[in-house]
């Protein structure tokens, strides 16, 4: 049995390679959901409406490498700007590790299975609708409470 700890337990987020950083994403797709902010309280509400480039089967962006050009409001998360996004789901690996918390057992890096996030019902798989199929004025009616 090896005593070597995985990189996410031994490295700071800022020390990770690009490949390590990208592998932290569990593929849940929750960050791609449209969110609404209450102007008075600042509270964030998730909707079940997802970016048009999100694949409902994989929960991955079909245009990932060009997402920032296609969707100027799409966030490119970095160790430097991570703390600017307090709307990240509580289960997000970037958020968890930045808070010194462990990854969940269903995270693909822990389980070794890229489907485990879906099997644990932690992803948006088959629970979201493309923004192409709704009227933007109807977003308030699409608020969901299953995002942690």
Chain segment 87-98, per-residue pLDDT in tens: 899 999 999 999
pLDDT greater than 70 at residue 1: no
Q: Would you say residue 58 lies in a domain? A: yes
Please report whether residue 34 resides in a domain.
Answer: yes
Could you tell me the residue range of the domain that residue 93 belongs to?
14-142
Alpha-helix residue ranges (DSSP H) falling in the chain: 7-10, 18-23, 67-70, 93-98, 108-111, 116-119
Residue 134 is assigned to a structural domain of this protein: yes
- How are beta strands 44-50 and 129-130 bridged, if at all? parallel
Please indicate, yes or no, if residue 38 is contained in any of the structural domains: yes
Asked, for residue 21, whether it belongs to a domain, the answer is: yes
Query: What are 88-134's pLDDT values in tens digits?
Result: 999 999 999 999 999 999 999 999 999 999 999 999 999 999 999 99
- Band of the pLDDT at 2, cuts 50, 70, 90? low
The model carries a pTM of 0.89
């Amino acid at each position: 049995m090896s005593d070597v700890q995985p990189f996410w337990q031994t490295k700071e987020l800022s020390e990770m390679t690009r490949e390590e950083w990208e592998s932290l994403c569990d593929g849940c797709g929750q960050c791609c959901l449209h969110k609404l902010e209450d102007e008075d309280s600042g509270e964030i509400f998730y909707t079940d409406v997802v970016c048009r480039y999100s694949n409902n089967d994989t929960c991955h962006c079909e245009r990932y490498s060009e997402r920032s050009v296609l969707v100027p409001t799409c966030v490119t998360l970095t160790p430097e700007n991570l703390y600017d996004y307090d709307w990240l789901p509580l289960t997000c690996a970037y958020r968890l590790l930045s808070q010194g918390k462990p990854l969940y057992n269903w995270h693909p890096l822990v389980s070794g299975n890229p489907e485990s996030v879906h099997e644990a019902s932690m992803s948006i798989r088959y629970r979201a609708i493309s923004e192409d199929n709704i009227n933007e004025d109807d977003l308030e009616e699409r608020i969901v409470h299953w995002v942690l």
